[in-house]
Structure 1
Amino acid sequence: MSEVKGLDFEEYVQWRKDLEDAVKIENDLIILGPQGFYDIEISSCNTYEKILGWAFHLSEKTWMTTDVLRYFIRVACQASDIKVPSV
């Protein structure tokens, strides 16, 4: 479940900034973590299948949160010009 529910506006702005700090694009890489401790080539996220593979891999990391994983999927889709899936 997302951590955004129940936040006031200022808390939401900080939550969003934290996500943007946790998942960034630099050159041809998606950088994860505020200190940039994990990087993924955008070219390895250019299909739904590859993004799903990365999401599965990243979900096993103890430092990964649901919100950051969801934001990673959105960033990876946008960086590869892929429509973000919805149900």
Structure 2
Amino acid sequence: MSDNPSVASEEEATEALEDRLERKKEVREECYVDGDVLVVHDEYYTIRLSDLDTPEKILGWIHHLVEKTWMDKILLRRFINCAAGANDIEIEGP
């Protein structure tokens, strides 16, 4: 183990990666397209795809959803990808 507490051991890094991969699997069930709606957070929200058909509309929902205590970065990324993908909106990153 490193003397530097900010450096994770190989075991800790592996565990963190496994946790992240497991979370990515979970979000597939928490956010998905079903017909003409996007289901978010185990059916807590069902959003019409027509309400997500522009980048501005998606951003409005992002602004709303990030305030939720159950929203995390992985679920938010899934939401963006599902909303954009279902409406043929290309997301460009840096």
Instruction: Tell me which residue corresponds to 2:61.
Output: 54
- Kindly name which structure, 1 or 2, has the bigger radius of gyration based on alpha carbons: 2
Q: How many residues align?
A: 80
Deviation of 1:52 (Å): 0.6
Shift of 1:15: 2.4
Aligned to 1:21: 29
8 A contact 2:62–2:76 mirrored in 1? yes
The CA RMSD measured in Å over matched residues stands at: 1.9
Question: Does structure 1 conserve the Cα–Cα contact (< 8 Å) formed by 2:23 and 2:74?
Answer: no
Deviation at 1:11, TM superposition (A): 6.1
Percent identical: 35
Aligned to 1:7, what secondary structure does the other structure show?
Answer: helix
2:4 alignment counterpart: none
Shift of 1:39: 1.0
After TM superposition, the score normalised by the length of structure 1 is: 0.81
Within the candidate set 56, 61, 72, 1:65 is matched to 72
Tell me, in whole angstroms, the C-alpha distance in 2 between the residues paired with 1:41 and 1:50.
11
Relative distance call for 1:62 and 1:6 in structure 2 (3 A) is closer
Q: 1:52 to 1:26 in 2, by over 3 A?
A: same
Unmatched segments (≥5 aa) in structure 1? none
TM-score by length of 2: 0.75
- Does the C-alpha gap of structure 1 residues 86 and 11 become closer, same or farther in structure 2, counting only changes over 3 Å? closer
Answer yes or no: is 1:40 the counterpart of 2:47: yes
Distance in 2 of aligned mates of 1:57 and 1:11: 24
1:85 Cα deviation (Å)?
2.3
Q: Which residue of 2 aligns with 1:80?
A: 87
